[in-house]
Amino acid sequence: MKIGVVLFPSKQVQDFANSYRKRYDTKYALISPHVTIKERTEIDEADLPKVLEYLQQVADSTKPVQLKIDGVRSFAPTNNVLYLKVLPTRELSALHDKLHDGLLKHPPKYEFLPHITIGQDLTDAELFDVLERMRMEQVHFEETINRMAVMYELENETWNVYETFRFRG
In the set 96, 100, 106, 115, the catalytic residue is: 115
Q: Given strand 140-145, what is the order of strands in its sheet?
A: 115-119, 82-86, 65-74, 140-145
Active site (annotated) includes residue 96: no
2 bridge partner residues:
42
- DSSP string over 120-162: BS--HHHHHHHHHHHHTS--EEEEEE-EEEEEEE-TTS-EEEE
- DSSP string over 48-68: HHHHHHHHHHHHHT---EEEE
Active site (annotated) includes residue 106: no
In the set 34, 96, 100, 140, the catalytic residue is: 34
147 Cβ partners below 8 Å, 6+ apart? Answer: 7, 59, 164, 165, 166, 167
Catalytic (active-site) positions: 34, 115
